[in-house]
């Protein structure tokens, strides 16, 4: 039985105990899925977990507090659930967590690039008519003539999946399928590459990237740990922290606020970056702080729902912060 | 009107020439996105005309944020106001027909046209009157394109001053209005040959054929009635909005969404009055001073967005939908919420209700 058949069976089994199960279902075309909210057994027919199941299902949990929820999670989604639990923003006894081994999800921008390379820029992902996902390839038919194109899976896999240490749900009530063993280690190579630039170059990089920001705040709203929701200081007019001018200053200011608020909380799911309609690499800022928290406090967000996140507590003698030795 | 031909090698020279009289906006690649930005004089690279722009061109006539005026409190307690400088004539080169048609949705609202007693908006109208829109016919249709559902066409001339069709070796330029005709006098433009004109028409037909692959265009003319009757159906709207993130992508990328907010930003004894884009997907959009919010949840907010485009606006605007079918709200939605699906679901709900009666 395929993983998806097993998952569908597990969801149907869980449904009578919960108000809904959150997973993934059909999207607007063969390259997209949409979050699926299953309430009746027939809703489960549309469920599928796979390379297009990009959405972090944990996102919806804080708003559904008080309800019994089943949630299907990839490894990264499960870490968001773990962090929300550690911060007591959701309740464990209201959740039934269904995990599965995730083989990674695709990045639409990379698909666009791979297709453009193959077709001299003449075909966009929006023209893909069918898509098949194998272990090694994404085989699509696209364009007016429905020609076939074969994209190497490695070329279109999301960056976060390439460095993923936790492809299996780190927390689950039901785990379907066989756990994936991985040797991957996240060494923050992307950050190291960025930091090879001078400070001036880095500032110029962000000025260039942020110029096209539309201030839609999808980065914030797609973040499962951004739980202020309707009360974000970015929207408040009284007091008004952020100006309404369409300047890089305001845009970058918000990104710094967002990243700071996620220090020690961000699990690196990358939904902020995926949601960005204009492809600004905003995850990089959060990863900088995650690396710092990892180094300072030996803490990786979302791995242990019982943990007290380091910025929600303090040690009298921090192991890596030696104030007494400061000069 | 005279149909012209512009050789590919002369495109930059023509844009250079145009930029003598206008601020010229062209689609440009930035990272993985394509955005409309001012043509930099002397630029040698062609505008990005292959990929469809990620954003619409509405910010050219309706800026994301604009200073309406600045104010200063003087020592004698009088207040000095200073109006913002005018933008000057602008030209958009290579915009999509759905983007040009988007402004046709703006016009009655900001022109004070259809509603009794409505004020005309001098900021928008000032830019609109001076703007020249050079529309490019679409060469390809995306899965998310649905201009044909709402009266559009990949080579629509609605709202365009000039229609451009890109061939391999250059562009066929067809002036649509007097403003467009006035641009045809450049010595860089040659009379188009019959072969070139036929090739352009063939490209229009090919794009129409690509759009038709998705199937016949559904009749959505009864959408207003269906949406009005579904107004209080909470289950319908909570189901449709379940995946919504309440972000502003759909409204900000939309060529027809025209809402704004006004903010006074003060510093010391002076400040500026800003007008910036607002977004009906946000909680703050209808938050009242009392703290009451008539649209507290995303279900009410999504209902408003769909209702406004396919029911309320058409009611006061001769049935015209406030949607030009560009599909950006679908393509860029992080949750892949499909506005077409919602309208079709509303129509089938209505049909089911009619059968029951």
Over pLDDT 90: what percentage of chain B? 90
Q: Is the pLDDT of residue B25 over 70?
A: yes
CB contact under 8 A, B243 and A221: no
Q: Any chain A CB within 8 A of the CB of B246?
A: yes
Residue of B141, B245, B253, B305 to mutate, testing the A interface (most A Cβ within 10 Å of its Cβ): B245
Quote the ipTM score.
Answer: 0.96
Residues of chain A with pLDDT under 50: none
> For position B356, what pLDDT does the model report?
79
Pairs from A226-231 (Cβ < 8 Å, separation ≥ 24): A226/A258, A226/A261, A226/A262, A227/A62, A227/A84, A227/A89, A229/A62, A229/A63, A229/B246, A229/B283, A230/B283, A230/B284
Q: In what order do the strands lie in the sheet with B190-191?
A: B33-38, B23-30, B90-96, B132-136, B162-166, B170-175, B4-7, B190-191
Q: Is the pLDDT of residue B1 over 70?
A: no
Residue of B nearest to A130 (CA): B143
- Chain B residues whose beta carbon lies within 8 Å of the beta carbon of residue A271: 334
Q: Which two tokens stand for residue A105?
A: 């999800």
Q: Is the pLDDT of residue B191 over 80?
A: yes
Top pLDDT among A240 and B58 is at: B58
**CA atoms of A85 and A62, how far apart (whole Å):** 10
Q: Is the pLDDT of residue B43 over 90?
A: no
Among candidate residues B222, B170, B261, B246, the one with its CA nearest the CA of residue A240: B261
- Chain B residues whose beta carbon lies within 8 Å of the beta carbon of residue A279: 31-33
Name the minimum distance, in Å, from the CA of B187 to any CA of chain A. Answer: 31
Kindly tell me the sign of the dihedral angle through the C-alpha atoms of B203, B208, B209, B214.
Answer: positive
Q: How many C-beta atoms surround the C-beta of residue B8 within 10 A?
A: 13
> For position B355, what pLDDT does the model report?
85
> For position A261, what pLDDT does the model report?
96
Secondary structure class of A90 (helix, strand, coil): coil
CB contact under 8 A, B32 and A246: no
| Tokens 């699926």 found at | A36
User: Do A33 and A52 meet the contact criterion of CB atoms below 8 Å apart?
Assistant: yes
CB contact under 8 A, B243 and A34: yes
CB contact under 8 A, A144 and B206: yes
CB-nearest to B242 from A37, A113, A123 is A37
**CA atoms of B11 and A311, how far apart (whole Å):** 57
**CA atoms of B184 and B178, how far apart (whole Å):** 10
- Chain B residues whose beta carbon lies within 8 Å of the beta carbon of residue A28: 143-144, 330-331, 336, 338, 341
Rounded to the nearest 5°, which phi and psi values hold at A202?
A: -65, -40
- Chain B residues whose beta carbon lies within 8 Å of the beta carbon of residue A240: 263, 265
Q: Any chain A CB within 8 A of the CB of B330?
A: yes
CB-nearest to B142 from A35, A124, A240 is A124
Residue of A31, A34, A55 to mutate, testing the B interface (most B Cβ within 10 Å of its Cβ): A34
Q: Which of A234-238, A252-256, B139-143, B292-296 has the lowest mean pLDDT?
A: A234-238
For range B153-174, the mean pLDDT: 97
Q: Any chain A CB within 8 A of the CB of B212?
A: no
**CA atoms of A30 and A149, how far apart (whole Å):** 14
For range B173-177, the mean pLDDT: 98
Strands B190-191 and B33-38: unpaired
Q: Is the pLDDT of residue B113 over 80?
A: no
User: Do A26 and A34 meet the contact criterion of CB atoms below 8 Å apart?
Assistant: yes
Q: Any chain A CB within 8 A of the CB of B249?
A: yes
- Chain B residues whose beta carbon lies within 8 Å of the beta carbon of residue A235: 282-284
- Chain B residues whose beta carbon lies within 8 Å of the beta carbon of residue A222: 245, 247, 334
How sure is the predictor about B118, in pLDDT bands with cuts at 50, 70 and 90? Answer: confident
User: Do B346 and B226 meet the contact criterion of CB atoms below 8 Å apart?
Assistant: yes
Crossing angle of helices B122-130 and B97-110, in 10° steps, is 140
- Chain A residues whose beta carbon lies within 8 Å of the beta carbon of residue B51: 116, 121, 124
- Alpha helices by DSSP H, listed for A55-95, are 75-86
User: Do B339 and B323 meet the contact criterion of CB atoms below 8 Å apart?
Assistant: yes
Name the minimum distance, in Å, from the CA of A61 to any CA of chain B. Answer: 12
CB-nearest to B247 from A112, A217, A243 is A217
**CA atoms of A204 and B183, how far apart (whole Å):** 38
- Chain B residues whose beta carbon lies within 8 Å of the beta carbon of residue A121: 50-51
Q: In what order do the strands lie in the sheet with B270-277?
A: B79-83, B65-73, B270-277, B260-267
Q: Is the pLDDT of residue B115 over 70?
A: no
Q: In what order do the strands lie in the sheet with A95-99?
A: A33-38, A20-26, A69-73, A95-99, A174-175
CB contact under 8 A, A216 and B248: yes
A20 pairs with which residues across the strands? A69
Among candidate residues B63, B110, B57, the one with its CA nearest the CA of residue B84: B63
- Chain A residues whose beta carbon lies within 8 Å of the beta carbon of residue B143: 28-29, 126-129
Q: Any chain A CB within 8 A of the CB of B276?
A: yes
Residue of A39, A219, A237, A245 to mutate, testing the B interface (most B Cβ within 10 Å of its Cβ): A245
- Percent helix / strand / coil, chain A, rounded to 5: 40, 15, 45
How sure is the predictor about B45, in pLDDT bands with cuts at 50, 70 and 90? Answer: confident
**CA atoms of B249 and B157, how far apart (whole Å):** 27
User: Do A50 and A4 meet the contact criterion of CB atoms below 8 Å apart?
Assistant: yes
Cis peptide before B289 (omega within 30 of 0): no
> For position B241, what pLDDT does the model report?
98
CB-nearest to A122 from B50, B277, B337 is B50
> For position B150, what pLDDT does the model report?
97
Secondary structure class of A84 (helix, strand, coil): helix
> For position B41, what pLDDT does the model report?
86
**CA atoms of A167 and A178, how far apart (whole Å):** 11
Among candidate residues B217, B228, B218, the one with its CA nearest the CA of residue B313: B228
Size of interface A-B (CB pairs under 8 A): 147
> For position B347, what pLDDT does the model report?
97
User: Do B326 and B145 meet the contact criterion of CB atoms below 8 Å apart?
Assistant: yes
What's the pTM? 0.96
**CA atoms of A45 and B131, how far apart (whole Å):** 51
């Amino acid at each position: 039985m395929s993983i998806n058949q097993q998952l569908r069976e597990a969801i149907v089994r869980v449904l009578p105990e919960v108000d809904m199960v959150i997973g993934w279902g059909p999207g607007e075309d063969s390259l997209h899925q949409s979050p699926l909210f299953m309430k009746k057994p027939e809703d489960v027919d549309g469920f599928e977990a796979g390379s297009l199941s990009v959405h972090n299902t944990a996102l919806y949990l804080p708003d559904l507090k008080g309800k019994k929820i089943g949630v299907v999670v990839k490894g990264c989604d499960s870490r968001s659930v773990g962090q929300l639990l550690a911060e007591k923003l959701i309740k464990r006894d209201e959740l039934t967590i269904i995990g599965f081994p995730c083989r990674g999800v695709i990045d639409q921008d990379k698909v666009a690039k791979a297709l453009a390379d193959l077709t001299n820029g003449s075909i966009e992902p929006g023209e893909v008519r069918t898509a098949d996902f194998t272990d090694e390839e994404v085989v699509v038919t696209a364009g007016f003539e429905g020609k076939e194109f074969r994209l190497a899976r490695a070329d279109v896999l999301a960056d976060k999946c390439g460095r993923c240490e936790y492809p299996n749900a780190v927390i689950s009530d039901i785990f379907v399928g066989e756990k994936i063993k991985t040797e991957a280690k996240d060494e923050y190579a992307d950050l190291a590459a960025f930091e090879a630039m001078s400070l001036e170059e880095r500032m110029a990089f962000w000025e260039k990237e942020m110029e096209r920001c539309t201030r839609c705040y999808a980065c914030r709203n797609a973040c499962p740990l951004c739980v202020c929701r309707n009360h974000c200081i970015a929207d408040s007019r009284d007091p008004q922290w952020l100006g309404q001018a369409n300047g890089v200053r305001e845009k970058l200011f918000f990104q710094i606020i967002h990243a700071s608020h996620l220090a020690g909380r961000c699990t690196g799911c990358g939904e902020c970056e995926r949601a960005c309609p204009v492809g600004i690499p905003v995850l990089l800022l959060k990863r900088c702080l995650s690396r710092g928290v990892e180094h300072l406090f030996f803490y990786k967000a979302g791995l242990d729902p019982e943990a007290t996140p380091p910025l929600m507590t303090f040690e009298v003698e921090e192991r890596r912060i030696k104030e007494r030795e400061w000069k | 009107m005279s149909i012209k031909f512009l050789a590919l090698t002369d495109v930059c020279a023509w844009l250079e020439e145009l930029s003598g009289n206008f601020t010229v906006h062209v689609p440009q690649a930035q990272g993985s996105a394509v955005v409309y930005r001012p043509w930099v004089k002397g630029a040698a690279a062609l505008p990005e005309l292959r990929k469809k722009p990620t954003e619409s061109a509405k910010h050219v006539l309706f800026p994301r944020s604009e200073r309406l005026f600045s104010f200063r409190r003087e020592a004698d307690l009088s207040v000095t106001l200073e109006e913002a400088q005018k933008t000057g004539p602008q030209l958009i080169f290579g915009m999509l027909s759905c983007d040009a048609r988007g402004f046709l949705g703006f016009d009655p609202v900001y022109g004070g046209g259809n509603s009794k007693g409505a004020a005309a908006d001098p900021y928008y109208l000032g830019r609109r009157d001076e703007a020249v829109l050079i529309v490019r016919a679409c060469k390809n249709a995306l899965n998310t394109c649905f201009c044909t559902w709402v009266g559009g066409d990949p080579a629509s001339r609605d709202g365009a001053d000039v229609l451009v069709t890109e061939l391999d070796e250059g562009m066929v330029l067809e002036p649509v209005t007097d403003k467009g005709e006035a641009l045809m006098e450049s010595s860089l433009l040659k009379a188009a040959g019959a072969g070139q004109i036929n090739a352009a028409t063939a490209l229009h037909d090919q794009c129409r054929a690509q759009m038709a692959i998705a199937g016949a265009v559904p009749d959505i003319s009864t959408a207003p009635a269906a949406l009005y009757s579904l107004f209080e159906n909470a289950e319908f709207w909570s189901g449709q909005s379940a995946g919504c993130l309440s972000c502003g992508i759909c409204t900000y990328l939309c060529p027809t969404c025209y809402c704004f907010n006004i903010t006074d930003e003060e510093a010391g004894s002076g400040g500026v009055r800003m007008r910036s884009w607002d977004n009906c997907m946000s909680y703050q959009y209808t938050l009242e001073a009392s703290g009451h919010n008539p649209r507290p949840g995303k279900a009410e907010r999504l209902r408003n967005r769909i209702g406004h485009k396919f029911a309320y606006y058409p009611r006061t605007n001769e049935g015209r939908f406030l949607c030009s079918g560009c599909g950006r709200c679908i393509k860029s939605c992080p949750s892949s919420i499909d506005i077409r699906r919602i309208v079709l679901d509303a129509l089938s709900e209505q049909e089911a209700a009619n059968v029951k009666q």
